[in-house]
Chains A and B, each alone.
Chain A
């Protein structure tokens, strides 16, 4: 089975801190995605990556950056956390062979105080 893991289930950070959210997949998938999930807004795409060292902006990239140094790992970085970044963050991956099924991690609930 495909497994997508995220480094933390719950995280509490202070305003202005630099925050790293890590995502690792074990199925040699080409494509990886970061979403945030908020009540009433559904899932919104932050960034995605089709290959190592490649990144593309999603719908709401402001305030975030990403890093993909290895194929299996995709990191989301909040350069200076703000309270409006309190949210559930979900990572996903796909094989890149147009299977279109995204495999999701369990999510990280981030609270910025």
Chain B
């Protein structure tokens, strides 16, 4: 079935380090891809999205490129901050309805 696999956490980095969180997907059609972020004590919020192959989503210094050939959508940021500490979810939708399939989430800790 359709699914999303992302790297297990927690991921711990020092401030200003480079971040990569890996995400790969399996889908029967042509999905749209998302990264959601959940800050402590809050619900999820959309961080960025890409709707077709080779699209790059970006927001708040984070980027992810839709790679159809490798079925991947890795999240990157060049210089992380303590305020980026959160849980990050990779997700997809197959555009048939509004249902979204989420990965299990990756907890990120940034040390000052």
Contact = CB atoms under 8 A, between A and B. Distances in A.
A101 B49 contact: yes
Contacts of B105: 42-43
A75 interface: no
Contacts of B20: none
Interface residues of A, number: 23
Contacts of A42: 89, 102-105
A61 interface: no
B26 interface: no
Contacts of A96: 98
B45 A104 contact: yes
Residue of A43, A90, A94 with most chain B CB atoms under a 10 A cut-off: A43
A79 B43 CA distance: 25
A100 B31 CA distance: 11
- Which secondary structure characterizes the binding site on chain B? loop
B89 A102 contact: no
B32 interface: yes
Contacts of B103: 42
Given A42-B89, A43-B89, A98-B95, A104 B44 contact: yes
Contacts of B43: 4, 90, 92, 104-107
Nearest to A99: B98
B103 to A, nearest CB: 6
A10 to B, nearest CB: 11
